[in-house]
Amino acid sequence: MSDSTVTEIFSHELPATPWDPAKKEIERAKIQVAMIGLCGCWGCNLSLLDIDEAILGLLEKVTITRASFTDLKRIPHRCAIGFIEGGVANEENIEVLEHYRENCDILISVGACAVWGGTPAMRNMIPLEECLSEAYIDSPTAVPGAKKVIPFHQDIPKITTRVYPCHEVVKMDYFIPGCPPDGAAILKVLDDLVNGREVDLPKAINRYD
């Protein structure tokens, strides 16, 4: 995907305000947690935020390195727990998921898309060629007479033949269904892991929709 003639800078390589060393030490001693979205709607990431003040009880023990409020593309250092939203629908999703698998001890599929493909996977019942044709070539909004183009650029990740659940690409350790799962479900799993309990999502908060 990369082109040697172009200099690419990732967001995590940009200059950043240095940490207060004392605070950094405290945070680094905690359990590192990260969350990222692949092919999803970001709703599951919002569910993490929806935990609201209930997260406070855990902040003694955990710190969140990457989530909606820290817009990093890479995990800055190894994490204990990684939450993945969304399924795998393009080349970049594969790369990101690989990066998380390599850098997280425990990886968790969060939400319908990560768990089984979800709504984006509705395209799996239709050949990719047909999908792309409908979207770009024979689209009702296509400009008549214009050159037929399917967007292709080195900065646009190539779409995969079909949408894959995360666990068909890398090993996933736990699954939280839901569209999106309730913040309480994510918190429960996190709380179990942080406190060394066997992960158990009770029936009352397990939802597929």
Partner 1 sequence: MNQKTRQILEHYHSDKTRLMDMLWDLQREDGYISDAAVASLAEGLNLSALDVRETLSFYHFFHDRPFGKHKIYLANSVIAKMNGYDDVRNALEQETGCTFGGVDASGTFGLGDANCIGLSDQEPAMMVDEVVFTNLTAAKIRDVVTQLKQGKTAVEIANPQGVSSKDVAYVDAMVASNIRNQGAVMFKADRDYRAILKACLDTHPQEVIETMTNASLRGRGGAGFPTGLKWQLGRNAEGDEKYIICNADEGEPGTFKDRVLLTRSPKDVLLGMVMAAFAIGSRHGILYLRAEYCYLRDYLQQQIDAFRHEGLLGEQILGAAFDFDIRIQMGAGAYVCGDETALIESCEGKRGTPRVKPPYPIQQGYLGMPTSVNNVETLAIASRIIEKGSDWFSAMGTDESTGTRLLSVAGDCDRPGIYEIEWGTTLNEVMQMIGANDPNAVQISGPAGDCLSVEKDGDREFCYSDLSCNGSLMVFDKSRDILHVVRDFMQFFVEESCGICVPCRAGGVDLLHKMELVIAGRASQQDIDEVTSWSKLLKATSRCGLGTASPNPILATLDKFPEIYAQKLVVQKGALLPSFDMDAAMAGYDLAQKSLVEEA
Partner 2 sequence: MRIHITLDGQSVITREGDMLVDVAASNGVYIPTLCYVRGKPCLGTCRTCSVRVNGNIMAACTIPVSDGMEVEVNEPEVTDMRKALVELLFSEGNHNCPSCEKSGRCELQAVGYEVGMMVSRFPYKFTPRTRDYASNALWLERDRCIFCQRCVEMIRDKETGQKIFSIESRGTQATIEIDVELANRMPPEQVREAAELCPVGCIIEKSLGFNDPIGKRKFEIKSIRERALERVDK
Residues near partner 2 (CB under 8 A) are 109, 112, 115-119, 121-122, 124-126, 162, 165, 167-168, 174-177, 179, 201, 203, 206, 208-209
Q: Which is nearer to partner 1, 55 or 75 (CB)?
A: 75
Q: Which is nearer to partner 1, 66 or 123 (CB)?
A: 123
Shortest distance in whole angstroms from residue 162 CB to partner 2: 7
Q: Which is nearer to partner 2, 15 or 202 (CB)?
A: 202
Is the Cα torsion angle 1, 123, 46, 193 positive or negative in sign? negative
Q: Which is nearer to partner 1, 162 or 188 (CB)?
A: 162
> Is residue 68 close enough to count as binding partner 1 by CB under 8 A?
no
Enumerate long-range contacts of 62-66, CB under 8 Å, 24 or more apart: 62/30, 62/31, 62/32, 62/33, 62/190, 62/194, 63/27, 63/28, 63/30, 63/31, 63/32, 63/33, 64/33, 64/34, 64/35, 65/32, 65/33, 65/34, 66/34, 66/35, 66/36
Shortest distance in whole angstroms from residue 31 CB to partner 1: 21
Which is nearest to 100 in space by CA: 35, 55, 3?
Answer: 35
* Residue numbers at the binding site for partner 1 (CB under 8 A): 91, 94, 97-98, 101-102, 127-129, 132-133, 136-137, 148-150, 152, 158-162, 164, 168-171
